[in-house]
């Protein structure tokens, strides 16, 4: 494998990025809209007066916040409150109070001149999905954010420089099959998002009645539900949200979020790069998920 590729400065990957920052006093309904309108997974939350970052606010944090302001009685539709009314009922919350409540994405900054290998180390060892890149010589100001998906997209374009490792199968590389967090297609959206929150993961596999893989549901998919229909929609079958999300994707209803142990690493990298997702489900010949391979697992593999 070419170690030279991973000595590339991280700043080379994020040159065209538009950094979106959320003010710490932003109301949660507005923060949610900012993420959705910019079609981004997360944004740093900044107290502009004190120049203090409270952390990243991402869709898993949003999900955990939404679940926290809804009791079981509310979810079942016995109380006719909108999302905004729920927040007022349980106490208005600001972005600074919700940033990284999941604990899944701590802020671990690196410098623009640091090599990609440094970012891979953070992704693999800490599990965070993004790292802030400090601006110039600053020790406090974020200039860009490097995400796992940006790195996998970059690797997909440079896969030829990774060496012989990419021609080996997952079996040959001794990839360990981690447990799959899943729901069936008749589970409610509430149950699916709660399972993400409880397991501190950003997505779950959605299974058919026979246990085969149907699709993937991500925390960010909650943005497809309009705020005024959020409360009742959470009690609907997860298949309805899956269909809504996939109908927005051009020329594909149910993207293939899976791979096999016999697939070569180059195939896995290319699929992750195209789909821009954080994981693929490892399936058997009958399409039943038997494991999951995350981007963090892949980065760890490439560093070995």
In the chain, what are the domain boundaries?
4-158, 166-303
Asked whether this chain's domains 4-158 and 166-303 adopt the same fold, the reply is: yes
Residue 236 per-residue DSSP state: S
More confident residue, 79 or 65: 65
**DSSP three-state, residue 212:** coil
Task: Domain 166-303: give its CATH superfamily.
Answer: CBS-domain (3.10.580.10)
Confidence grade of residue 247 (pLDDT, cut at 50, 70, 90): confident
Task: Domain 4-158: give its CATH superfamily.
Answer: CBS-domain (3.10.580.10)
Tokens for 103?
Answer: 């604990």
56-60, 81-85, 137-141, 248-252: which is most confident? 56-60
The mean of the pLDDT values for the chain is 86
CB of 195 closer than 8 Å to CB of 181 = yes
**CA 136: distance to chain centroid?**
27
Asked if pLDDT for residue 76 goes beyond 70, the answer is no
Those residues whose C-beta lies under 8 Å from the C-beta of residue 302, and which sit 6 or more positions away, are 1, 6, 120, 155, 162, 165
């Amino acid at each position: 494998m070419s170690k030279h590729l991973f000595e590339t400065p991280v700043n080379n990957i994020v040159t065209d990025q538009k950094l979106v920052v959320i003010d710490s006093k932003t109301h949660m309904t507005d923060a949610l809209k900012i993420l959705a309108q910019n079609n981004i997974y997360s944004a740093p939350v900044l107290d502009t007066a004190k120049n203090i970052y409270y952390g990243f606010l991402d869709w898993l944090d949003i999900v955990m916040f939404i679940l926290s302001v809804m009791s079981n009685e509310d979810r079942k539709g016995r109380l006719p409150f909108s999302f905004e009314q729920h927040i007022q009922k349980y106490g208005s919350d600001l972005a600074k109070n919700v940033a990284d409540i999941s604990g899944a994405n701590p802020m671990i900054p690196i410098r623009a001149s640091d090599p990609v290998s440094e970012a891979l180390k953070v992704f693999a060892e800490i599990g965070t999905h993004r790292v802030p890149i400090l601006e110039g010589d600053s020790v406090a100001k974020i200039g860009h954010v490097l995400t796992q998906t940006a790195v996998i997209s970059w690797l997909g374009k440079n896969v030829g420089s990774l060496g012989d490792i990419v021609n080996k199968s997952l079996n040959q590389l001794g990839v360990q099959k981690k447990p799959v967090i899943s729901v069936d297609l008749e589970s409610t959206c509430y149950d699916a998002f709660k399972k993400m929150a409880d397991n501190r993961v950003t997505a779950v596999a959605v299974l058919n009645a026979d246990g085969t893989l149907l699709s993937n549901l991500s925390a960010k998919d909650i943005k497809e539900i309009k705020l005024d229909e959020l409360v009742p929609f959470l009690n609907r079958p997860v298949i309805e949200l899956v269909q809504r999300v996939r109908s927005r994707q051009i020329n594909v209803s149910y993207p293939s979020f899976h791979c096999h142990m016999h697939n070569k690493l180059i195939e896995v990298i290319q699929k992750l790069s195209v789909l821009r997702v954080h994981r693929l489900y490892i399936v058997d010949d009958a399409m039943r998920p038997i494991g999951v391979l995350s981007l963090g697992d892949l980065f760890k593999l490439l560093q070995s």
